[in-house]
Amino acid sequence: MQNLFDLSGKIALVTGATHGLGMAMTKALGSAGATLVVIGNTPAKMEKALEEYRNDGFDVRGYLFDVTNEAQVKENIEAIERELGPVEILVNNAGMIKRVPALEMEVDEFRKVLDVDLTGPFIMSKHVARYMVERKRGKIINICSMMSELGRDTVSAYAAAKGGLKMLTRNLATEWAKHNIQVNGLGPGYFATDQTAPIRVNGHPFNDFIVNRTPAGRWGDPEDLGGTIVFLASKASDFVNGQIIYVDGGILATIGKPSNE
């Protein structure tokens, strides 16, 4: 059974893996044996991230390019395949959010969010999958969001992109299943990260809202994503395709946290 989850000898490419949840998921893949390829677009963040990965004992490489630039993506995927070997796992994690009321959002801002959060995963998947199709195997994991299912004030572009990513996941799964490629999504709930630290204090309205809205009664720990990302990247999920697995402490399952009575 343990062999089903073993990623030894496999190359896992993760976009947006220089910090936060992307780094936590990437470390989980590395802990399962994968060779890590981290994609980013900020040299300083990349240098710091690679140092942390290596200090933790992971076999890791870093590449700097823009996932929304198809020419750069094509060139770098070719280089990775040539220099390191076959990419068997792709995690499309890079993303951005702009919290702007819809009436105030500029169209260019809206398009930018869709470009990063939806078009980027399409471009990456397209160019990685060309090699996967030839080899007749591969795992693609798109990092969706609860905003793939729910709306919320000020995040119209992000929710539109993540909803689109959910359907892109299902469509690519449909097209590429015949090539033994599984395309699935992972949707994190609300997690304890450096970015959420200022609002995760007792008494803060949003902290109280999340704790009270989540049946588990807490924010997620980044390590809570490890089991799901390894499952979706491993042989254990070979007959799982086109699914979005939400790791959210039960938020999407209920209209409210159960009482303690």
Please determine, for residue 261, whether its predicted confidence score (pLDDT) is greater than 60.
no
Class of domain 2-192+221-250: alpha beta
Show the tokens assigned to 15: 């976009």
With b for 16 or more beta-carbon neighbours within 10 A and e for fewer, the 87-106 pattern comes to bbbbbbbbbebeebeeeebe
Give the largest Cα separation in the chain, rounded. Answer: 60
Q: In this predicted structure, what is the pLDDT of residue 136?
A: 98
Q: What is the pLDDT of residues 59-102, one digit of tens each?
A: 999 999 999 999 999 999 999 999 999 999 999 999 999 999 99
Could you report how far apart the first and last alpha carbons of the chain are, in Å? 40
Query: pLDDT class for 260, splitting at 50, 70, 90?
Result: low
Show the tokens assigned to 179: 């090539």
Please determine, for residue 23, whether its predicted confidence score (pLDDT) is greater than 60.
yes
Please determine, for residue 119, whether its predicted confidence score (pLDDT) is greater than 60.
yes
Q: What is the mean pLDDT of residues 123-135?
A: 98
Q: In this predicted structure, what is the pLDDT of residue 202?
A: 86
Catalytic machinery residues: 158
Q: What is the pLDDT of residues 136-172, one digit of tens each?
A: 999 999 999 999 999 989 999 999 999 999 999 999 9
Classify residue 234 as exposed, middle or buried by CB count within 10 Å of its CB (0-12, 13-18, 19+): buried
Of residues 221 and 260, which shows the higher confidence score?
221
What is the residue-averaged pLDDT of the chain?
96
Domain ranges of the chain: 2-192+221-250
What global pTM score does this model have? 0.96
Q: In this predicted structure, what is the pLDDT of residue 257?
A: 66
Q: What is the pLDDT of residues 196-222, one digit of tens each?
A: 898 898 889 999 999 999 999 999 999
Determine what percent of the chain is predicted with pLDDT higher than 90: 92
Phi, psi of 65 (to 5 degrees): -165, 170
